[in-house]
Amino acid sequence: MSKIITSYAGNVEARRAIRRAYPRYELEKLGIVRLFLLALCKPNGRDRITQHALFHENSRYGDLIQGNFLEDYKNLTYKHVMGLKWATTKCYNLKYIIKMDDDILVDLYDLNNIITKKHLKETELAGYLLKDLRPIRMKANKWYVTSEEYSDNTYPSFLSGWMYVVSVQLALKLVNSAHMVPYFWIDDLFITGILANQLNAKFIDLSEYFSLHPEVVECCIRLRMKCGFFVAPTSGDYALQTKFHDHCYTCRTFMNACRTLPRGKTVEKMCVAKRRMPTLGKGLPHFSIVKI
């Protein structure tokens, strides 16, 4: 498998944390090749890193791919397609591609087991399925989309860009289709939604294996429980990468090292912690009248 990770050029610590959590020798045992997807640094040091520093990083680790476009939120689709194209044309004997962001935790042991269990077909993508979302027309919102950019009132179903898995055959079709469809800057929606739906791809919903809050990860580790999920956000706490990996490795390797969740229970229900980030989604606010 190939693991392509969307990474902002200046997020050196995020990449370092992922490398610490899963060193190259451990990835080799899992049969995974890891690549970070970057764009060109903006002039005048606005990306908090220089091109020379990136050259040095790649000479040391050899795991960076850099596009010929600038680092910008609205260029993420270029970066995403670049990663899929590289993996489908430069890596050989691959069956699946894992796409993820650099601020996401992934238990690769459990992910491997799920991929095997689900028997992912050539026409399928697996990840956190998002349905019935609408374009946000409020200019102040991060995901503001104009009617010219997207005219329909509802988005097609798509997978969160946090992490998803796709067969190499379908990834190649997505790459080829990307050149025939007008560009859209919300990358996960464009690739796993607009393009995937045009190709009649099928979705495998893995949302039950996602935790939406990093504090739940901390609870799982603290309680020494088998988490029941294998994807979660770091919320900028990159030290959590190593902690989560070590916890998952311990639970998997040593018998009775971690307790199994009671039937009908989840870590979320057993966890008492201050929420650190909003839930997953690109939705609209909901207002209701409350009588006092």
Tens-digit pLDDT profile for residues 17-30:
999 999 999 999 99
Do both 200 and 222 map to the same domain? no
Together in a domain, 18 and 157: yes
- Give the whole-angstrom CA distance, residue 123 versus residue 121: 5
Same domain, 243 and 143: no
The rounded mean pLDDT for the chain is: 90
Same domain, residue pair 39 and 157: yes
Predicted confidence at residue 172, as pLDDT, reads 95
State residue 134's pLDDT score: 94
In a domain, 278, yes or no: no
Q: Are residue 166 and residue 265 in the same domain, yes or no?
A: no
Residues 162 and 226 in one domain: no
Are residue 219 and residue 181 in the same domain, yes or no?
A: no
Instruction: Look up the domain containing 201 and give its range.
Output: 2-209
At 56-97, the pLDDT tens digits run: 999 999 999 999 999 999 999 999 999 999 999 987 788 999
- Is-contact 135 278, C-beta < 8 A? no
Confidence (pTM): 0.89
- 276 occurs within a structural domain: no
Instruction: Return the pLDDT at 261.
Output: 83
pLDDT for 90 equals 86
Of 209, 238, 254, which one is at a domain's C-terminal end?
A: 209
Kindly tell me if the per-residue pLDDT of 156 is higher than 90.
Answer: yes
| pLDDT tens-digit map of 228-242 | 999 999 989 999 999
Q: How confident is the model at residue 290 (pLDDT cuts 50, 70, 90)?
A: low
* Residue 239 is assigned to a structural domain of this protein: yes
- Sign for the pseudo-dihedral over CA of 155, 145, 135, 236: positive
Q: How far is CA 33 from CA 12, 28, 63, 65, 235, in A?
A: 19, 7, 9, 13, 25
Region 98-116 average pLDDT: 94
Tell me the per-residue pLDDT of 170-187, one tens digit each, with 9 for 90 and over: 999 999 999 999 999 999
* Domain co-membership, 133 together with 22: yes
Q: Is 218 in the same domain as 205? A: no
User: Do 126 and 26 reside in the same domain of the chain?
Assistant: yes
- Give yes or no: residues 58 and 72 share one domain: yes
* Total domains in the fold of the chain: 2
- Same domain for 138 and 36? yes
